[in-house]
Amino acid sequence: MFKGVMTAIITPFSDGRVDEDALRKLIDWQIAEGVDAIVPCGTTGESVTLQYEEYDRVVRIAVEQAAGRVPVIAGAGSNSTSNAINLAKQAKEARADAMLQVTPYYNKPTQEGLYQHFKAIAEMVELPMLLYNVPGRTSVNMLPETVARLAKIDSIVGIKEACGNMDQVREILRSTPKEFALLSGEDAQNFEIYKAGGAGAISVASNVAPKQIAAVWDSFEAGRVDEAKGKQRELQALNEAMFIETNPIPAKTALAMMGRCREEFRLPLTPMGEEHRTELRDVLRKYGVIE
């Protein structure tokens, strides 16, 4: 159902409020540059600092602005199952095409707890669900056997996998149906995951260079595997730069340098340090993103 490069889009702020005009322009630019879906209110969208009303507004803007040109997959995760259900209901009411549900952070549930969490959301909200496994942010790793159990639930259609372990990625691919979409959650591993059988990527780096990130998938999908591998290699410095500080600090700082949003974060995230700012600027110049 979902494949290709999907941008985990930032949430631009202006004077403490969501900058709706900047968000709409970012979405239009992303689609024009060739991405295959927009993913608002994920980690990169600073979702955990959005109020419920802001969350609803961001998702609705994404749906309105995408206008059916590409799917909108709304981040709707929480470390509280009841809160995740409420967010999922909001995403459905806003007419998102699907929801992205992260493994509960801080609680550190067992594998059975993970299964019951996602199962409960699926039972309460009739909307396609992509799971999201990112142990580096949540301190819990959802194992392939748990993913395989969840893949048997009709509305759970895929996973954004950011464990960083290719053996685990391959095991998920082996143990889930062919139509279950495994999406890369690590830009540095995009090509490797495509080659293993992945269906695309939910990308941070595509915030800054959507055309270049999408081109890797497009080449691979067209059967030009060596070309895709070369394009991925060329992007390595950019992929690394997106994580020189905590995501989404580098992505939003880069977009501010590009004049596409204000460099404004919500605490506890803070502006980038000067040493890293210089490093980021040099990388962006290398890729022709800024002058």
- Cα 185 to Cα 133: distance, rounded to the nearest angstrom: 8
* DSSP H or E stretch at residue 88: helix 81-93
pLDDT at residue 1, rounded to an integer: 73
Task: Count Cβ neighbours within 10 Å for each residue of 196-214 and write b for 16 or more, e otherwise.
Answer: bebbbbbbbbbbbbbebbb
* DSSP H or E stretch at residue 83: helix 81-93
CA distances from 160 to 119, 172, 182, 271 (A): 17, 11, 6, 27
Q: Where along the chain do its domains lie?
A: 4-222
> Which backbone phi and psi does 280 adopt, to 5 degrees?
-65, -45
Would you please indicate which residues are annotated as catalytic (active-site) residues? Answer: 132, 160
pLDDT at residue 150, rounded to an integer: 98
- Regions of the chain short of the pLDDT cut 70: none
- The whole model's pTM is what? 0.96
pLDDT, one tens digit per residue, over 20-61 is 999 999 999 999 999 999 999 999 999 999 999 999 999 999
pLDDT at residue 291, rounded to an integer: 84
- Cα 2 to Cα 130: distance, rounded to the nearest angstrom: 9
**CATH for 4-222 (3.40.50.2300, 3.20.20.70, 3.30.365.10, 1.20.1600.10):** 3.20.20.70
- Cα 62 to Cα 72: distance, rounded to the nearest angstrom: 7
pLDDT, one tens digit per residue, over 105-126 is 999 999 999 999 999 999 999 9
